[in-house]
Amino acid sequence: MSVYVITWDLNKEKPNYNAARTAFVNHLETYENIKDPGLDSVRFISTTSGTNEIDAYLRQKLDGNDRLFVSKLNSGEHQGWLNKNVWEWINARL
């Protein structure tokens, strides 16, 4: 299994923003994941899928005005300021 950071931005001007965001997050939550409460549009997921597969899967709930970034974390090559439980979750899977 690998850990990926997923970040997104949905176009807030769309008339169904709340429903679209809920649909996207529910879709994302099919992966084992964790959220840091200080990062609203960021999740860390654990999966055997690769970046292309994750991207294609998540794009199913996005439109042309939305944005998505998927990146694999490498052991010893990540740093930041997150809640302790988030770090523990990430490090236990790398």
Smallest CA-to-CA distance from 2 within 48, 38, 43, 37 is with 48
- Written as one letter, the residue type at 56 is A
Q: Return all residues near 44 (Cβ < 8 A) that are at least 6 apart.
A: 3, 4, 5, 6, 33, 34, 35, 36, 73, 86, 89, 90
Q: Which domain holds residue 85?
A: 2-93
What is the number of domains present in the chain?
1
Indicate which CATH number applies to the domain containing 30. Answer: 3.30.70.240
Confidence class of residue 19 from pLDDT cuts 50, 70 and 90?
very high
Residue pLDDT, tens place only, 43-64:
999 999 999 999 999 999 999 9
Report the pLDDT averaged over residues 3-32.
Answer: 94
Q: Which two tokens stand for residue 61?
A: 């709930």
Residue 12: predicted pLDDT:
79
Residue 22: predicted pLDDT:
96
Residue 13: predicted pLDDT:
80
